[in-house]
Amino acid sequence: MPKAGLWHRLGAAYDKVASFNVETLFVRKREPGPRRTVFVNEPLPDDYRDHKGRLKKEHVYKTNQVITSKYTVITFLPRNLLEQFRRIANVFFLGIAVLQFFPKFSTISPGLVIFPLLVVLGITAIKDGYEDFKRHQSDSRVNRSTIRVLSGAEWSNPNVSAAKSSNFFRSANTPDVEKAEGTPDANLAEPVPQSPTTAEIEFDDDIAATAPKEEHHGLHLFGHHASTRSHWKKLMWEDVCVGDFVKIYDNESLPADILICATSEEENVAFVETKNLDGETNLNLTHLTTAKACAGSKFTVDCDRPDNNMFKLNAAVKMNDEVVPVDIQMTLLRGTVLRNTGWVIGLVLFTGEDSKIVLNSGGTPSKRSKVERQMNPQVFINLLILACMAVACAIADSVLEHQQYPKGAPWLYGDNRPGDNPSINGLVTFAFALITFQNIVPISLYISIEFVRTCQAAFIYFDAAIYYEKTGQATLARTWNLSDDLGQIEYIFSDKTGTLTQNQMIFRQCSINGKVYSGDVEEVTVPSAPTAVDPEAEQASSSTDSSSATATVIVPKPEARFHSSALEADIAAAVATSPSLSAESARALHGFFSVLALCHTVLTSIDRETGKIDYKAQSPDEAALVRAAADAGYIFRGRDREVLTLQTPFSTGPDDVDRYELLNILEFTSARKRMSVIVRKLDDEDGRLFLLMKGADNVVFERLRAKGDEALREQTETDLSEFANGGLRTLTLAYRVVQEEEYRKWSERYHEATVALDEREEKIEKVSAELEYDLRLLGATAIEDSLQDGVPETIADLKRAGIKIWVATGDKLETAIAIGHSTNLIGKESNIIVIRGGNDHSRPIYQQMVHAVEEFFPESGILDDDGAVVEKVLSLQRTRTGGESDRPPVPLRRVETGISSIVGPNNGERPGGFVLVIDGSALGHALGDEDHKSLLLRLAMLCEGVICCRVSPLQKALVVRLVKDGLGAMTLAIGDGANDVSMIQAADVGVGISGEEGLQAVNASDYAIAQFRFLKRLLLVHGHWSYARNGNMILNFFYKNIVCIGVLWWFQIYCGWSSNYVFDYTYLLFWNSFWTIAPVIAIGLFDRLVDADALMALPELYRYGREGKWFGMKWFAVYMIDGVYQSAIVFFIILYGYFSPTARADGYDQHLLEFSTTMVFSAVFVANFYNGLNTNVWTGWVFFAVALGIVLLFLFTVVYNAISPGWFVTLVYGNNTFLFQSPLFWLSMPITVCVSLLPRYVAKAWQFGFVPNDIDILRYIAKTDPHRDLARDAYLDGRGLKAMRREVPADQDDALSRRTSRSSYASVAPATSNIRPHQGSSSADVRSASRTDMSTGIRSVHRGFDFATEEGGVAMRRMQSNLSSRRNLGETSQTREGKPSEPRKKVFSLRKGLLKRKPPTPS
């Protein structure tokens, strides 16, 4: 037990050292500041200053300068050296170099000894410095962008901000930054000197001006008295302070978090495109407060402390004893881009590190690859072996000297002095042994790895298959040392919009009064809105042309038009009052499209040149619905303050429109799942009030009138099921007529709820529901969301590769579930477990997770830990219910909600597996303590997929760390916007999408790709190759040095353990530089196990990398043993061969350097041929590499042995005469090579012939049947890798074709298939995806907000598989308990070990 405790402590100490993070020394933890009050034209209170009159620290706000780079001039050297000396080998090399500075231990010049280490450190530092230089360029572009800030004698900002820090490399970026800022001089050949007044000052006496004029044409500029008036002065972003008024024009980025004061729009609204915030292109509608002149304003703004919650802000404006609440809807956040708004004037509330987007990001990490981390213990083992060798030499030498000195050994003459005696000489021999055998850890290994990884980054860059021709963007490796990590990914965390989807909605079908209308969508190419260059989206490595920053880029985009012949005929019949259409159907048509055209928050803009109406919406769903109504003839003409104008097919002309007064908007929330508007019909005699609603079907059906719509409801439910089965997103429409008196009373209650200070949202939701009842059903809509090109196939293949894919999105819960369907994470046969936060009336999060485990995974063993979890749940419930301990836990049960349920009794038994959906509120609780985190992780591992919705950027990073730290799994995060930065930085590998969206994620990523589909080739091909190459190269590197050191070690037996060299030192010096370096480099650059087409066709092959098959301690031990064995063969065969009577013609005995040089040749031959034997593909470069070292060795030996003492003295002068004429030299080399390589050759031949793995089989197929279509065999046959092998009995299973989790994966239909997503079955499918809400216990069929294919692409369908079913848990549990599976017959294509059924790895 004491020994076990010692090893445990040693292991813990090593883990602590290995997990040391350099960032902790150089990156201070960012603490948010205190609550703040922003003063406008008011002096700071006296209590803001200390007794000396100095401003207190808590009232000095952060500068707006944001620095994301790792290094500064001061920290570069120490931080970079610390990062490099995390490698144990570098510490060892430094110690050896220092040791040789002492004359007693010097072998050659101390400067030459330390030179290789300096080269390695220097090259790595240059690479790291270059990477960080690009980050500094990006920072400089952002911080030196310009913005208009209020200035003048009439204005003074009393708030104080901290001084900005000096920026590294700023001067190097100045020319490019000036171009990126889009100044007037950017288009001039030479800069024209301008006075500060002309270049930087702008007046806007009329704030209602809709757009700025070009500055070089004049902007109401006045002479030398300009600075005395209030004006807008251009300042750099980093100079913006809290309390400044800023003016932002259309298409400009927001420099900080600002409170909106005024805009150019009449409704006092503004649109921002969150392109750089989350990579999306949706428009967020922001309500405004005032439009007064800024310089004359006098008020204060009380704000909460800086918070990383992107969806919450609590503040209040105090002006003239009036308090106006401020929420997130009244602010614009840093990173957003102003769109379709002339200008906005705002007050800066939070700057720099206090802004929300920066609070959600972390410092730039120093990532190390998994292979490099695995190398450290291997290097440590080599160092232990070296220490043992040195100790053995020291002890043996000391013992021999003690024995021989009394006998008068002549070589020990004078060994009786304090500094020279047998005892002290043992220590000297120990030091000499460290120097002699130091090559057991080759310093050239690290520089070779850096070189190979750099070339692998170039291979990725020049791969035409992942080059995006549309934008001319190649896949870029921004971090060069993670290429092998791409081949070991186990979990992928993906953002949604811009990464998986295009966020482009297409109206496909609708059901009106029980009749389905299917549209033929026509795509019309129209130019998109002008896109300005945003400084935060600039690529750090690009050099922008002087005209590119100011030029307007118009990208043509297809716009879908809904066209249905049947619908047009019915509308025409309704207009003509044709008897072919009933009056009821005509009213339903009119009501349906009137609701579509009026129930929304869309605003309109009219193109002055074309007269085309452009709809601006909060979400693309709303825009698609309004456009579909317009395509049907119900054209929303716009909103004039509170009056909505609608042109219908019944209108006689453009001026004949219906007008509605907008009274209230009851907004859509994730809890309400519906949106309603209350409008009054104008120009009518009675002026009736209507409540128009759209929302989820179950919510709308609950609020329908009790009688009268039964048949219509049943038919609409059937249609909704067909839409959902076809993968379309659905909404249900209804309306009611509201009585005047009822509305008046309700309006009073609604106003009281909107001004409530406590529980405002809950009260508004409660009052809103009071009017939403007794509705009349109109119909339902079906919308398709377009995925990015190739996303379904990519997701399916990545799942076939055994990679778990989690989606983390900021969208609401329903939209997140839609994304699960769209990406095939959720299938028609899946069971959805919903865990969400709520109010005090919902179940605690921990209890929801426990109930999910009890309900769906009772045999998982999670809750069988001596009842501890049960007690935890009960205590939590007692606490929540105020001591009602007698109240038992409420079990999950089927709850009828008034709708017709088609879930069926076997809910939870679907063969599609389970998908966990958790929202941000629940996730915040689940990540709050270790018990919650542990249960959440174990529950997620039992599910085939996890979707995190409504999560903040910081929560995305915490989810990644939960899996990364909790499972020790290799993680990859992919996103395209600034809110994905923290997730990308937290993952082992971060990938940024650099397509047509924002580039903030790219600037923080390790790899930049243009399309999500490129991720498949990046992982399955380049990742597989890089990991196999690097692992094989490193192992062969260790091996070849063991061969060399082994020869030196065996010589110690014959030299009195004196640590002497058996051959000339120069051969040892050039061992890693010339003789054996080329073959291992060739392995790293050119080796490949399988061709790219096979890796792409058979994703299951990726498991070899995912499971770490190519590199690890087992293979390290095998190669080390090979090296020891071969060194013994080389040394002893040659030694005893030369022990025979002399082979010299003169009869003299052989010299030491004569036969030791033969050992060098044999060792080089053996090492190079062994490396070649371990190379899977012999190309011309491999032949060249294997032969290069041998040729160089021959040339060097001939020249070196011929150098006469007149040049410089060598011990090998004249050796050519005896070496090359000796038959022992020529005979010993083929003998030693053959005997040395025989074990490895026999092992490889036996494996390939008798127990081949899947790689071997595919290599054989490629050799014997190179034209075989692997993709056709694998996909159309449906058996994956089984199609490559001999037939096996049905009850047998192979290793690669089995799932590595309980998930089922999507199967790609044949390429000839042309199935449209909406062509589903004609009746409701009772096996549609079921959904259980753990917070309420309600189970329902999921119907709506999903889709299964990209437009025009291959239809994707979930394959049924009992591997994902709950009933297979028992089998899995038995396997985990260690029960052996049934014996299998010996099959040519698989090893016995692989044929055994193994438990799936956790998801």
Distance of CA 621 to the CA centre of its chain: 26
Q: What angle do CA 1033, 1035, 1041 make, to 5 degrees?
A: 100
Bridge partners (DSSP) listed for residue 325: 316
CB 398 within 8 A of CB 432: no
Q: If you write DSSP's letter for every residue of 785-804 in order, what string do you get?
A: EEEPTTHHHHHHHHHHTT-E
| DSSP H helical ranges for 544-664 | 565-575, 583-598, 620-631
Euclidean distance between CA atoms 1098 and 1058, whole angstroms: 56
CB 789 within 8 A of CB 1013: yes
Specify the amino acid at residue 166.
S
Q: If you write DSSP's letter for every residue of 115-128 in order, what string do you get?
A: HHHHHHHHHHHHHH
Bridge partners (DSSP) listed for residue 643: 640, 661
Euclidean distance between CA atoms 807 and 825, whole angstroms: 9
**Tokens read off for 546:** 């002087």
3-state secondary structure labels for all residues of 938-983: HHHHCCCEEEEECCCHHHHHHHHHHHHHHHCCCEEEEECCHHHHHH
Q: What angle do CA 330, 333, 336 make, to 5 degrees?
A: 115
CB 671 within 8 A of CB 950: no
Q: What angle do CA 310, 314, 318 make, to 5 degrees?
A: 140
Q: Do β-strands 603-606 and 613-616 pair in parallel, antiparallel, or remain unpaired?
A: antiparallel
**Tokens read off for 1321:** 């079955």
Distance of CA 1170 to the CA centre of its chain: 39
Sign of CA dihedral 529, 530, 535, 537: positive
First to last CA, the chain: 36
Euclidean distance between CA atoms 1213 and 1200, whole angstroms: 7
> What phi and psi values does residue 283 have, to the nearest 5 degrees?
-105, 125
Q: Give the full edge-to-edge strand order of the sheet including 269-273.
A: 283-287, 269-273, 337-339
Tell which residue, 855, 805, 861, has the closest CA to residue 835: 855
CB 1387 within 8 A of CB 1285: yes
What is the SS3 assignment for 553? strand
Tell which residue, 578, 385, 598, 371, has the closest CA to residue 485: 371
Catalytic residues: 495
- Give the residue carrying structure tokens 């037996």: 1053
How many alpha carbons fall within 13 Å on the CB side of residue 1019? 36
Euclidean distance between CA atoms 333 and 268, whole angstroms: 18
Distance of CA 104 to the CA centre of its chain: 54
Give rounded-to-5 percent helix, strand, coil for the chain: 45, 15, 40
Euclidean distance between CA atoms 59 and 30, whole angstroms: 17
CB 1284 within 8 A of CB 1262: no
Per-residue burial over 365-397, b = 16 or more CB atoms within 10 Å of its CB, e = otherwise? bbbbbbbbebbbebbbebbebbeebbebbbebb
Euclidean distance between CA atoms 759 and 1260, whole angstroms: 70
CB 658 within 8 A of CB 646: yes
- What is the DSSP code (8-state) at residue 1391? -
